[in-house]
């Protein structure tokens, strides 16, 4: 079968691999929809230390259960449409045993360190699949990024009525916007791209800006209760600290390059009693994400601006890199 694989630095290529054989505890998925993510670009550029060469990319995907290894315990049945959690923890270490499996030092990731869903078939542990009902495969493929947004919003610990700033309205920024606004926060979005700004308004933002002005001294109540940085560039990560009001929380959601550093004023953090948090992947977020997608309180399908067949992967990758869309989706078994 054709798969999109990280073969060499700077390129993702279509190569041939066998349909994967199932090990004990695995299910075989016929992939229906597979999203391209900024992480795939980081992988391609050699900026993801745990990514493995010659691995099929694709960590945001949905598909139909094609086969279940004999003796595997699972609630899913052959034919079910499932969303897949790409993170595979060891289930043995101290982190895994204390409800922090995303921090597992032996965490493997489908589509990063083991073959992923940018292929017609992929084998995953049965524990990783979440059955969906009443949503399309494309929307189901949003469950993984949405689960990361769910974790980010949890980290923000916002309260109803809080003033929230979201910097960057890519897929994750838009998801954070929708989750915060449906949760009763007043959300301002900072974004340069016109289409993304428009989508942010549709997703519940009450104000859009390219140039955030907090209007006064953060110690006198000006600024935002919670700031979500969803870009991952050093300048926006640094700026995020200046937009929080005293006592506020800044959540760095965007993924920076491994060698990037950001200057931080410890005095300002002290004087404003800021809380700076980061988020890593999606602990226990998948089941909630699947429910949120099925509730349809937000037009999640509007995040998917382009769909391609796997035979058009080059076009899909070019469209993604151009920034012309929001979420670019590939349909490997269409
Ligand atoms: Zn992703
Ligand atoms: Zn572990």
Q: pLDDT class for 319, splitting at 50, 70, 90?
A: very high
In the reported structure, the alpha carbon of residue 84 is separated from the centroid of ligand 1 by a whole-number distance in angstroms of: 12
Cα 77 to Cα 22, 35, 62, 129, 322: the distances in Å are: 16, 24, 14, 11, 39
Q: pLDDT class for 53, splitting at 50, 70, 90?
A: very high
Cβ atoms < 10 Å from Cβ of 159: 11
| Residues paired with residue 167 on neighbouring β-strands, in sequence order | 190, 229
Residue-averaged pLDDT of the chain:
96
In the reported structure, the alpha carbon of residue 265 is separated from the centroid of ligand 1 by a whole-number distance in angstroms of: 31
List the one residue out of 118, 155, 148, 147 whose CA is nearest residue 278.
155
In the reported structure, the alpha carbon of residue 86 is separated from the centroid of ligand 2 by a whole-number distance in angstroms of: 15
What is the C-alpha separation between 28 and 22, in angstroms, rounded? 7
Q: pLDDT class for 211, splitting at 50, 70, 90?
A: confident
Q: Is it the case that residue 130 has pLDDT exceeding 80?
A: yes
pLDDT value at residue 78: 98
| For the chain, percent of residues with pLDDT exceeding 70 | 100
Phi then psi for residue 154, to 5 deg, are -60, -40
Cβ atoms < 10 Å from Cβ of 171: 27
Tell me what the mean pLDDT of segment 39-47 comes to: 95
The angle subtended at Cα 232 by Cα 221 and Cα 326, nearest 5°, is 105
Token digits of residue 325: 């869309």
Inter-residue contact 198 to 168 (CB < 8 Å): no
Q: Is it the case that residue 169 has pLDDT exceeding 80?
A: yes
Q: Tokens 């899909």 belong to which residue?
A: 316
| Residues paired with residue 91 on neighbouring β-strands, in sequence order | none
Span of 27-36, 204-213, 241-250 with lowest mean pLDDT: 204-213
For residue 232, what is the DSSP state? -
Inter-residue contact 79 to 65 (CB < 8 Å): yes
Cα 251 to Cα 47, 209, 228, 243, 271: the distances in Å are: 21, 19, 5, 12, 18
Tell me what the mean pLDDT of segment 308-317 comes to: 97
Tell me what the mean pLDDT of segment 308-319 comes to: 97
Inter-residue contact 249 to 152 (CB < 8 Å): no
Around ion ligand 2, residues with a beta carbon closer than 5 Å are: 89-90, 93, 96, 104
Q: Which ligand is the nearest neighbour of the Cα of 327? A: 1
- Predicted TM-score (pTM) of the model is 0.97
Cβ atoms < 10 Å from Cβ of 52: 14
What is the C-alpha separation between 161 and 28, in angstroms, rounded? 45
Q: pLDDT class for 98, splitting at 50, 70, 90?
A: very high
Q: pLDDT class for 334, splitting at 50, 70, 90?
A: confident
Inter-residue contact 249 to 277 (CB < 8 Å): yes
Question: Mind listing the pLDDT tens digit for each residue in 155-168?
Answer: 999 999 999 999 99
For residue 206, what is the DSSP state? S
pLDDT value at residue 195: 93
In the reported structure, the alpha carbon of residue 116 is separated from the centroid of ligand 2 by a whole-number distance in angstroms of: 20
Q: Which ligand is the nearest neighbour of the Cα of 40? A: 1
Q: pLDDT class for 17, splitting at 50, 70, 90?
A: very high
Q: pLDDT class for 199, splitting at 50, 70, 90?
A: very high
Q: Which ligand is the nearest neighbour of the Cα of 328? A: 1
List the one residue out of 202, 139, 210, 204 whose CA is nearest residue 168.
210
Say how many CA atoms lie within 13 Å of 131 toward its Cβ. Answer: 9
In the reported structure, the alpha carbon of residue 142 is separated from the centroid of ligand 1 by a whole-number distance in angstroms of: 9
What is the C-alpha separation between 309 and 332, in angstroms, rounded? 6
Q: Tokens 């916002």 belong to which residue?
A: 158
Tell me what the mean pLDDT of segment 62-75 comes to: 96
Q: pLDDT class for 120, splitting at 50, 70, 90?
A: very high
| For the chain, percent of residues with pLDDT exceeding 90 | 98
């Amino acid at each position: 079968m054709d798969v999109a694989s990280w073969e060499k630095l700077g390129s993702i290529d279509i190569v041939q691999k066998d349909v994967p054989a199932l090990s004990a505890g695995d299910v075989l998925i016929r992939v229906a929809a597979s999203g391209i993510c900024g992480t795939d670009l980081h992988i391609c550029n050699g900026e993801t230390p745990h990514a493995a060469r010659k691995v099929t990319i694709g960590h945001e995907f949905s598909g139909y259960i094609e086969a279940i290894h004999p003796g595997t315990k699972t609630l899913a049945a052959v034919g079910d449409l499932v969303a897949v959690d790409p993170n595979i923890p060891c289930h043995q270490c101290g982190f895994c045993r204390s409800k922090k499996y995303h921090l597992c030092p032996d965490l493997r990731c489908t589509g990063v360190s083991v073959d992923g869903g940018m292929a017609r078939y992929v084998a995953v542990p049965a524990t990783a699949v979440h059955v969906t009902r009443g949503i399309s495969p494309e929307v189901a493929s949003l469950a993984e990024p949405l689960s990361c947004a769910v974790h980010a919003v949890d980290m923000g610990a916002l309260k109803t009525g809080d003033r929230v700033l979201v910097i960057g309205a890519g897929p994750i920024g838009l998801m954070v916007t929708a989750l915060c606004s449906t949760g009763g926060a007043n959300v301002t979005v900072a974004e340069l791209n016109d289409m993304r700004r428009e989508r942010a308004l549709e997703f519940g933002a009450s104000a859009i800006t390219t140039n955030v002005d907090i209007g006064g001294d953060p110690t006198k109540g000006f600024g935002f209760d919670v700031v979500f940085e969803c870009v991952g560039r050093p300048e926006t990560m640094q700026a995020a600290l200046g937009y929080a009001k005293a006592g506020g929380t800044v959540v760095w959601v965007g993924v920076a390059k491994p060698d990037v550093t950001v200057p931080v004023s410890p005095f300002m953090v002290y004087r404003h009693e800021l809380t700076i948090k980061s988020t890593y992947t999606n602990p226990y977020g998948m089941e909630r994400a699947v429910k949120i997608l099925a509730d349809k309180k937000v037009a999640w399908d509007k995040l998917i601006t382009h769909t391609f067949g796997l035979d058009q992967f080059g076009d899909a990758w070019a469209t993604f890199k151009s920034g012309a869309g929001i979420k670019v989706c590939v349909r490997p078994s269409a």
